[in-house]
A and B are shown apart, each in its own frame.
Chain A
Amino acid sequence: KQEVTQIPAALSVPEGENLVLNCSFTDSAIYNLQWFRQDPGKGLTSLLLIQSSQREQTSGRLNASLDKSSGRSTLYIAASQPGDSATYLCAVRADSNYQLIWGAGTKLIIKP
């Protein structure tokens, strides 16, 4: 059974730092992996989707990588800003029925 883990559960860093959020999954047979951001009390915003055939995707200051063989994905945030403070979740699509398997999220705080 596919399981998705995000470590650490919480992270606090000063503004301006480059940082990496981690996501690991137990079964390498995935269709894709998606990173989301959630602000308190709000819905989820899709950040990046990496298909199983891809190694990375970039959007602005965000870069997500995928290593299926090791069951890992990282979300790299460059030059962090207080507005990046949010909970970041990763999810994998593991089979043909379009459902996602979710990590518990990393709560990120960027200190001004």
Chain B
Amino acid sequence: DVKVTQSSRYLVKRTGEKVFLECVQDMDHENMFWYRQDPGLGLRLIYFSYDVKMKEKGDIPEGYSVSREKKERFSLILESASTNQTSMYLCASSPHGTGGYNEQFFGPGTRLTVL
């Protein structure tokens, strides 16, 4: 079974802190994604990566950066946390696949609160 793990289930940080969210997948997937999920706004893509050291901006990259130094690990960085970044953060991975078979698998999520 595909397993996507995230470093923390719950995290509380203070405004201005630098925050690292880590995601690891064990299925040798090429693609990895970071989303945030907020009530009434649904899932929004922050950044994704389709290969090691590659990254692409999603719909809401402002205030975030990412790092992918190894294939299995994709990190989301909040350079200076703000209260409006309080949210549920979800990591996902998928293979490149062929013929449209690139099922996306999710981690358990990190509930981040910025005070």
**Of A18-26, A71-79, A94-102, which stretch is located at the interface?**
A94-102
Question: Complex: how many Å from CA A91 to CA B99?
Answer: 17
**8 A Cβ contacts from A18-39 to B:** 31-32, 34, 36
Q: B87-107 toward A: CB 8 Å interface, digit per residue (1/0)?
A: 010101010100111111111
The total of interchain contacts (Cβ-Cβ below 8 angstroms) comes to 58
Does more than half of chain B's interface fall in helix, strand or loop, or is it mixed?
Answer: strand
- For chain B, residues 12 to 71, give those with C-beta under 8 angstroms from any C-beta of chain A: 31, 33, 42-43, 45, 48, 50, 56, 58
Given the contacts A43-B108, A89-B43, A97-B56, A51 and B101 also touching, CB distance less than 8 Å: yes
B73 at the interface (CB under 8 A from A): no
The interface size of chain A toward B, counting residues with CB under 8 Å, comes to 25
Interface size on B, residues (CB 8 A): 27
Q: Is the CB of A99 within 8 A of B58?
A: yes
Q: Are A34 and B103 in contact (CB under 8 A)?
A: yes
Instruction: Compute how far the CA of A99 lies from the CA of B102 in the bound complex, rounded to whole angstroms.
Output: 10
Q: List, sorted by A's number, 8 A–B pairs whose CB atoms are closer than 8 Å.
A: A32-B102, A34-B103, A41-B111, A49-B101, A97-B56, A98-B50, A98-B102, A99-B33
User: Which 7 A-B pairs rank lowest in CB-CB distance, beginning with the nearest?
Assistant: A31-B100, A44-B106, A51-B100, A43-B106, A32-B100, A43-B108, A43-B109
- B interface residue numbers (CB < 8 A to A): 4, 31, 33, 42-43, 45, 48, 50, 56, 58, 88, 90, 92, 94, 96, 99-109, 111
